[in-house]
Structure 1
Amino acid sequence: MRGDGDGWAVGPDGGRRWGVHGAAGLLLRAPRSDGTPAVLLQLRAAWSHQGGTWALPGGARDSHESTVDAAVREAQEEAGIDSTSVAVRAERVTSGRPGSWSYTTVVADAPAPLDTTMNGESTELRWVGEDEVESLPLHAGFAEAWSALRTRPVRMLLDTANVLGAGGPSGWWRDRPGATGALLTGIAAALPRTVELPDRTFGWVSRVEAVLEGRARSAIVDNDRTRVHTADGSGDDELARLAAAVAPDTSAVPATATALDPAVTVVVTADRGLRARLPHGTMTLSPSAVLGWL
């Protein structure tokens, strides 16, 4: 059914752009069997604008739709994507500007590469490893936006006690090992995933490294998406040491990572004193960012 957004508009540069109310596309990311991320791309039909190039499923936004609704609808129509398997992580205006014509990329995850079904706007649909995207002939707009949309592998260190404390008065301190085990089990169940980093880039988290101190060290944690470091003394000392390690644990980093796509260390903590001790270049996230996964 033709929507009220179908039609040409004038972009900020005076050129013609598709979508009376703007346009949106879905950047859907999913883990491959080796844990590295792949994105769903569409080879545009020859008759379409810039036909024969690879881009995201997307199209015009109708007047009653949010950008998220439009992007997910377009992915359903053009790729047969099951919307119930899509978890939205972020939005980015990647062309144009708000208040005028704009194209919004909706960043989302799926638990695994989903089955797809083409319509007449596609010649092919393919799950493409992020490291392989730039080898394809890309739609000009997507090519320009890709460097800001792709992920970097993340080594995530968890200030576990600080995260537990940020969760509110749940009585976790009465059973630190049990509360710690439950927290880490919940976090592991939410991985792998895309995360939005403080510098507005994106990261891919395959697993977390949790630092445990005191009574929490006896927590039972049995999941390959969680590595546990037990601190003999201060957990802050251990986190600072791990963040500064010359040879960090890179087992969660895709083997395809290159010098242009290095791993970034992220420490999850609200402790200002610990944050001040971290090496230059280490990023931090607040506990609420991770608790929001649960």
Structure 2
Amino acid sequence: MTVLAVDVANVVGSRPDGWWRDRAGAAGRLLDRLAALPGAVLPGPDGGPLTCTGVLAVVEGAARGVPAPEGIELVRAPAGGDDALVAAVGGLAAPALVVTADRGLRARLPAGSAVTGPGWLLAELDRRDGMTAGGGG
């Protein structure tokens, strides 16, 4: 049972799909996709099953005003998103899997925090989107 703690800006910025033209819109689209994950059993980054009990997503800057989809715990960082994510993960009662490629952020997380890169999350979201589009999920 794991909470996904997502560095939204880092995940959005990992794909050069034009996100920079509408940062808030890109963050909102990612949050909408993340809303399908709580309660799902996912193939974890290590290949084993991962039960997603919740999603905590940190937004910052232009994305602070995006609406929070149902089922997402949205943290609106008043300043740096990294500071907000470190604090949020430190306050969780459940184990977390932090999704970020930011090495500086990774080094600041509480000891023992599990971390994976945006590629794992985006591949899982793409797989789930394909299942939905194909009628398989």
TM-score bucket of the superposed structures, by smaller chain: 0.7 to 0.9
Is contact 2:31–2:69 with CA below 8 Å preserved after alignment? Answer: no
Structure 2 unaligned regions, length at least 5: 127-137
Select 2:2's aligned residue among 144, 154, 179.
154
Is contact 2:37–2:55 with CA below 8 Å preserved after alignment? Answer: no
1:136 is matched with which residue? none
- SS of residue in 2 equivalent to 1:207: strand
Deviation, 1:181, is 0.9
1:194 is matched with which residue? 41
The verdict on how the C-alpha distance between 1:182 and 1:161 changes in structure 2, with shifts beyond 3 A counting, is same
Asked if 1:163 is matched to 2:11, the reply is yes
2:74 is matched with which residue? 228
Structure 1 unaligned regions, length at least 5: 1-152, 251-262
Aligned-partner Cα distance in 1 for 2:57–2:78: 14
Select 1:243's aligned residue among 86, 89, 93.
89
**Percent identical:** 40
Asked if 1:285 is matched to 2:121, the reply is no
- SS of residue in 2 equivalent to 1:215: helix
TM-score (norm 1): 0.40
Asked if 1:178 is matched to 2:25, the reply is yes
Q: Which has the higher contact order (CA 8 A, sep 6+)?
A: 2
Asked if 1:267 is matched to 2:98, the reply is yes
Letter in 2 for 1:269: T
Select 2:56's aligned residue among 200, 206, 209.
209
Is contact 2:9–2:59 with CA below 8 Å preserved after alignment? Answer: yes
Select 2:66's aligned residue among 219, 239, 249.
219
Which structure is higher in helix share? 2
Q: Which has the larger radius of gyration?
A: 1
Deviations 1:166-200 (A, max 9, x none): 1x221112111111111110121244322344565
Deviations 1:244-267 (A, max 9, x none): 22xx2x5xxxxxxxxxxxx32111
Aligned-partner Cα distance in 2 for 1:275–1:230: 19
Letter in 1 for 2:106: R
Deviation, 1:282, is 0.7
Aligned-partner Cα distance in 1 for 2:45–2:36: 23
Is contact 2:56–2:75 with CA below 8 Å preserved after alignment? Answer: yes
Is contact 1:198–1:284 with CA below 8 Å preserved after alignment? Answer: no
Letter in 1 for 2:81: G
How many residue pairs align between the two structures?
125
1:144 is matched with which residue? none
TM-score (norm 2): 0.81
Aligned-partner Cα distance in 2 for 1:290–1:241: 22
Aligned-partner Cα distance in 2 for 1:189–1:197: 16
Letter in 2 for 1:193: A
Which structure is higher in strand share? 1
Deviation, 1:241, is 1.1
